[in-house]
Chain A
Amino acid sequence: MSNIKHFFEQSWLLIVSSFFFGLLIAVANAAWSERIVQNEIDKRNRLMTDLIADANSFDVAAQAVEIPDTKAKVVKTDIYRALDGSGRTVGFAFIAVGSGFQDKIKLVIAVDGKCEKFLGFKVLASNETPGFGDKIKDSYFSSQFRDAPAGKLQLVKTGDDKKIDSEIVAISGATVSSEAVVKIFNTYIDTVREHLQTKGSAGNGK
């Protein structure tokens, strides 16, 4: 008995305060969690709106689409549908992940409503070397993807980066990162297009 008494003498403070702090955290969480979730949605929506100019609102077109990764793993992603003010589908967007030069690169990729053209990409998160790989954010690189045909893309070292086609000109000195971006596109696009077209979400521009 005295053991138990001793125990409580020694550790009541710890027990009480863990409970108290647990509550404190929970309260903070309860108060702010909505905002936090909303922040994430806002950010994604903002990027998607940047890509799909006419978009007014978004909804989920397909949930947890399974994408076969190169590493024989399967990654899942949601596909969002962008609707304009009149409720017409103006495009689709999804989050895509792949490995870059140093770390993972997370992109938001958009395609048009018929899933025929890319509408470009935005970097959600990347850890590429400043001055090298982080140039994938620069417009001269990313604009090559806008309006490129939604199919397999190809990376070339030299070419005309103004010309819009399935040939993407690499950033000099950051071939690897450029390649990574192209690879992400290629990994995702087939499955996504298939998904949208077979499931009939695309093309019926209503």
Chain B
Amino acid sequence: MASEALDKPALGQTFIAGLWNENPVLRLVLGMCPTLAVTAAVRPALTMGCSVIFVLVCSNLVVSLMRNLLKPHLRILMFTLTIAAFVTIADLFLKAFLPEMSERLGPYVPLIIVNCIIICRAEACASKNGLAVSLVDAIGMGLGFTMTLCVLASVRELLATGKIFEQQVMPAVFVPWAAMSMPVGAFITLGLMLGLVNTITKKKA
């Protein structure tokens, strides 16, 4: 308990950490599957990001509430259960209100359940901190994730179709690079992006 009080992080710092220093995709290299799968265009990426924020916030809150009741053997099971429940709700919501997106994202919405980011935050943050910190952490992490997804998706969408948010931005003579919307484009763009981030952070250090 004492140590918990000791390294109780400042809210602002927690928030920023999620955005950059501990950005789940760029720095922790977690949750790569949705990152790759849904970033062919910005719109599904954004939807995915929002769903993740929703699940992250809810599960962090619930876990934070339960944190003193958790028993070691069933801890991970509890997390999984909580997350799965909220993912189901998010999935139902998408089906009900954004049917197009739901179809596009397909099984990648339920796959949020096993997205390492969420269990990671439940374990590393929510199970050790109070409601406020957990909430801020969830939002920070979620936004970090969403931002990264959107950047990646805009690069890919731009090159693959010449559009962003389905709006034409490239001049008409531009011939779209179909490969960018294929797995190749996903892997390579993300790889180069991680490389770029590595260079930037190295320089700062």
Do A and B share a complex? yes
**Contacting pair B89 A25 (CB below 8 A):** yes
A-B contact pairs, 13 of them (CB 8 A): A14-B78, A17-B78, A17-B81, A28-B88, A28-B92, A29-B92, A33-B92, A35-B97, A36-B96, A39-B95, A125-B103, A131-B178, A132-B178
9-residue interface stretch from B14-22, B66-74, B137-145 = B66-74
Within B168-189, which residues are at the interface with A (CB < 8 Å)? 176, 178, 181-182
Q: Select A13's contact among B78, B84, B95, B178, beta carbons within 8 Å.
A: B78
Is B165 close to A, CB under 8 A?
A: no
Question: For the complex, would chain A's binding face be called helix, strand, loop or mixed by DSSP majority?
Answer: helix
Within B58-99, which residues are at the interface with A (CB < 8 Å)? 66, 69-71, 73-74, 77-78, 81-82, 84-85, 88-89, 92-93, 95-97, 99
**Contacting pair B74 A130 (CB below 8 A):** no
Q: Select A10's contact among B74, B81, B92, B95, beta carbons within 8 Å.
A: B74
**Contacting pair B78 A25 (CB below 8 A):** no
Chain B residues with Cβ under 8 A from A33's Cβ?
92
**Contacting pair A13 B81 (CB below 8 A):** no
**Min CB distance, A12 to chain B, in Å?**
9
Tally of contact residues, B, Cβ under 8 A: 26
**Min CB distance, A193 to chain B, in Å?**
30
State in angstroms the CA–CA spacing of A33 and B96 once bound together. Answer: 7
Binary contact readout B36-73 vs A (1 if CB under 8 angstroms, 0 otherwise)? 00000000000000000000000000000010011101
Chain A residues with Cβ under 8 A from B85's Cβ?
21-22, 24-25
**Contacting pair A28 B81 (CB below 8 A):** no
Is B126 close to A, CB under 8 A?
A: no
Is B190 close to A, CB under 8 A?
A: no
Chain A residues with Cβ under 8 A from B88's Cβ?
25, 28
**Min CB distance, A33 to chain B, in Å?**
8
Given contacts A21-B82, A130-B160, A130-B178, contact A13 B66 (CB under 8 A): yes
State in angstroms the CA–CA spacing of A187 and B97 once bound together. Answer: 35
Binary contact readout A25-43 vs B (1 if CB under 8 angstroms, 0 otherwise)? 1001100110110011001
